[in-house]
Amino acid sequence: MKNLILSTIFTLTAAQLTMAQSITASGTVKNEKGQVIASALVQEEDAKTATYTDSTGFFTIPIKSNATIVVYAKGYKDEKVSPKENLVVVLTPGKSSFKARNLNDPDKITTTIPDQNITHGFTYFNVSTTGSGGALYNISRKEDTKGSRYLVESWAKGYVVDKTGAPIKNDNYSFNYDKINGSLLLTQDKRAAVDVDRDRIKSFTIYNKLDLPETYELITNIDPSHYTQVLSDGSKYKVYKFTKTTFVKANYITDGMTSSGNHYDEYVDEPTYYILDVKTAALQKIAIKSKTIKQAFPAEADKVKAFYKEHADDDIDENFLKSLADSLN
């Protein structure tokens, strides 16, 4: 029965992916001065398919050929256009009608399909942050943008574990994780993707470029809307790494004599580490420093001292912290 249910889930997911819209609209969003508008929301009217413009104002979105595109941006009037390739959408200053979400904060966007589909474990999500060749979903970064909003450069193999602890695997699917909005993305064709409903899974695992597994859980005490990486998962201690990713726009300034800032847009990762004492359920934030790590395990002072002596030549980094916790477990 379990295999039948899982087969049904993936069959339905495949059907959703196959239902990609009949055309792909693309273009650039600018203001009346010709300046590009980044992070504008581009949405199919009366539907849930949406995307954001990238740092150059570009977007691409799958859409019905007879549908209408609506573009929203903070500080500008809404603009409706007919879908086609190479659109130039010009927004004029004014008040946007899109009040329910902060249009300049990608964390606030949630795109779903009707509830009957949510019951099958996935919500449909078509998103594109950069576009090329009319692809429905393109996760590659632009050459002039450093870093990435995604966990891996391309799609990677992996699996999810549902709320009952049962692994759900299918070799036909690939995954990636959007660090900005906290979405686990699943794809079959590496163009259209589904956003796996975080309320229905316990964890997910993605294999990195070294083919090593990285496991992520939703630790609500750390962040209720973004996943946290599990570095060490033992019966006594767990070590977590939470990465906050922010988008920093190019901010180069010069007066001819001095200059500051960067010419490029950048996604900046800021990792924070936590240790959970399983017995006491105490969760503490920890810095990757020798003194702090030693103080984090007061009940294991002798074992910690012995580990430090044995690994005296090792760098004090997250791998050191992981190995220490593994040895204590």
CA 71 centroid distance within chain: 22
Q: For residues 97 and 70, is the Cβ–Cβ distance under 8 A? A: no
Residue 183 lies in a domain: no
Supply the pLDDT for residue 48: 64
Supply the pLDDT for residue 22: 61
- Is the pLDDT at 155 greater than 60? The verdict is yes
Between 14-18, 122-126, 285-289, the lowest mean confidence (pLDDT) is in 122-126
**Beta-sheet strands, E only, within 208-262:** 213-217, 228-233, 237-248, 253-254, 259-260
Supply the pLDDT for residue 141: 52
Residue 135 lies in a domain: no
Supply the pLDDT for residue 54: 74
Q: Which domain holds residue 232?
A: 218-241+272-329
Mean pLDDT for the chain? 78
* Span 215-230, average pLDDT: 96
- Is the pLDDT at 126 greater than 50? The verdict is no
How many domains does the chain divide into?
1
> What is the rounded distance in angstroms from the CA atom of residue 102 to the CA atom of residue 265?
21
> What is the rounded distance in angstroms from the CA atom of residue 141 to the CA atom of residue 150?
9
Residue 310 lies in a domain: yes
Question: Which tokens go with 213?
Answer: 């597994």
Supply the pLDDT for residue 192: 67
Residue 192 lies in a domain: no
* Span 227-233, average pLDDT: 97
Residue 53 lies in a domain: no
- Is the pLDDT at 163 greater than 60? The verdict is yes
Q: For residues 299 and 275, is the Cβ–Cβ distance under 8 A? A: no
Residue 86 lies in a domain: no
* Span 36-61, average pLDDT: 79
Supply the pLDDT for residue 109: 36
* Of residues 268, 121, 102, 294, the one with CA closest to residue 199: 121
- Is the pLDDT at 124 greater than 60? The verdict is no
> What is the rounded distance in angstroms from the CA atom of residue 96 to the CA atom of residue 42?
13
For residue 284, what are the β-bridge partners?
A: 275
Residue 233 lies in a domain: yes
- Is the pLDDT at 263 greater than 50? The verdict is yes
- Is the pLDDT at 269 greater than 60? The verdict is yes
Residue 224 lies in a domain: yes
SS3 136: coil
